[in-house]
Amino acid sequence: MKNLLNYCAIQWYERELENKNIDLEQYLLQHKLDGVEQYIYNGQLLLKSYADISVGVHLAYWPQWLEFWKYNKSNKTIVVKNRHEWIEKIRTNIKAALTQKPEYLVWHIADCSEEETYTFKFKHTDMEVVAAAAEVFNEVVSDIPSNVWILFENLCWPGLRLLDKDIIKRFLSLINKKNIGIILDTGHLMNTNPLIRTQTEAVDYVCRIISELHEESQVIKGLHLSCSLSGEYQQSFNHCLPDNIEKADLMKHIISLDQHRPFTNKVVQKIFNYVQPEYVVHELIYDNFTDLDNLLKQQFVSVGNI
């Protein structure tokens, strides 16, 4: 099992590494991490290559794409003219990711509009989303080497929520590639249950969902490990899209829903009785590396020697 850190080579982080004279590879060794899952959301590397330490790469994510794919309806997240142009953009993103020589790529399976993140009244079903997502993926599958795994990630929005084993089975049956699996995001799964209030309740819920997947749980190859206790927030706001919403307001809302905080309770170890992942990405939100030091320590103490 490889323990990894989520990292994106944005100017903010790169400048801090330089100013504090931090070598990222040495930083990983210091924290007994085996590498990074690097975020590459464009058709080129941001500032620097991390091919030597990138075990996985998280591909670009378009939150709302289904109606564009089906009906050519453009929106804020799809700024292309047609299907062909979008597919080429995805191909370019994959090419950039492959320059980092990853063992696996991460692909989100979800569709949700800005309004739906507030109303929770979803236009499309999980099955509609996964069926269309399989169509999109199969358009670019030839661009991915056979030895590179694709790990599909769950979210709390319509798509691969992991709440129905039949949807997982159907989705994977539509994919024209052998080396495929799921990377289970614990926080995203917790967000599907607004009644959760404690880490113990959250872990019990995650374990129950995994057990209810039966044989489909065997395709879980990795974990995005973090804690998200957003149930109270989910029940605290008016479920309608605010007028004249700014991007900063939307981001604050999304982070309040999807918190990516460290586990601070050893109950998290129970998850590893239900799944034996090849990759564990400690996927935390951090402002700087001093902040990250503290977050990692909290999670490592909780996880223990897994």
**pLDDT confidence of residue 81:** 85
Q: Which of 117, 119, 107 is nearest to 154 (CA)?
A: 107
Domain count along the chain: 1
Does residue 74 surpass a pLDDT of 80? no
> Looking at 98-102, 224-228, 249-253, 281-285, which range is the least confident one?
249-253
**pLDDT confidence of residue 130:** 99
Phi, psi of 84 (to 5 degrees): -60, -45
Contact assessment for residue 28 and residue 36, using Cβ atoms and an 8 Å cutoff: yes
Residue located via tokens 């479920």: 239
**pLDDT confidence of residue 76:** 74
pLDDT tens-digit readout, 29-64: 999 999 999 999 988 787 889 999 999 999 999 999
Q: How many CA atoms lie within 13 A of 212 on its CB side?
A: 12
Contact assessment for residue 57 and residue 27, using Cβ atoms and an 8 Å cutoff: no
- State the average pLDDT over residues 204-231: 98
Mean pLDDT for all residues in the chain: 96
Domain CATH code at residue 71: 3.20.20.150
Residue located via tokens 């607004």: 194
pLDDT band of residue 207 (cuts 50, 70, 90) is very high
Q: How far apart are CA 105 and CA 130, in angstroms?
A: 18
Burial per residue of 258-285, b for 16 or more beta-carbon CB atoms within 10 angstroms, e otherwise: bbbbbbeeebbeebbebbebbbbbbbbe
- State the average pLDDT over residues 227-254: 93
**pLDDT confidence of residue 189:** 99
pLDDT band of residue 71 (cuts 50, 70, 90) is confident
Does residue 186 surpass a pLDDT of 90? yes
**pLDDT confidence of residue 80:** 84
- State the average pLDDT over residues 205-219: 98
Does residue 194 surpass a pLDDT of 80? yes
What is the SS3 assignment for 283? Answer: coil
- State the average pLDDT over residues 214-230: 98
DSSP letter at 53 equals T
pLDDT tens-digit readout, 16-25: 999 999 999 9
Share above pLDDT 70 across residues of the chain, in percent, rounded to a whole number: 100
Give bridge partners of residue 107 from the DSSP assignment.
152
Does residue 176 surpass a pLDDT of 80? yes
Amino acid at the residue 55: V
Q: How far apart are CA 191 and CA 265, in angstroms?
A: 18
In this structure, how many other beta carbons lie within 10 angstroms of the beta carbon of residue 36? 25
Positive or negative CA dihedral for 60, 39, 45, 248?
positive
DSSP code string of 113-164: -HHHHHH---SS-HHHHHHHHHHHHHHHGGGS-TTSEEEEE--SSSB--SS-
**pLDDT confidence of residue 285:** 96
Q: How distant is the alpha carbon of residue 249 from its chain centre? A: 21
Structural domain boundaries enclosing 160: 2-303
pLDDT band of residue 165 (cuts 50, 70, 90) is very high
Q: Are strands 220-224 and 180-185 parallel, antiparallel or unpaired?
A: parallel
**pLDDT confidence of residue 78:** 80
Q: Which of 192, 190, 212 is nearest to 201 (CA)?
A: 190
Does residue 148 surpass a pLDDT of 80? yes
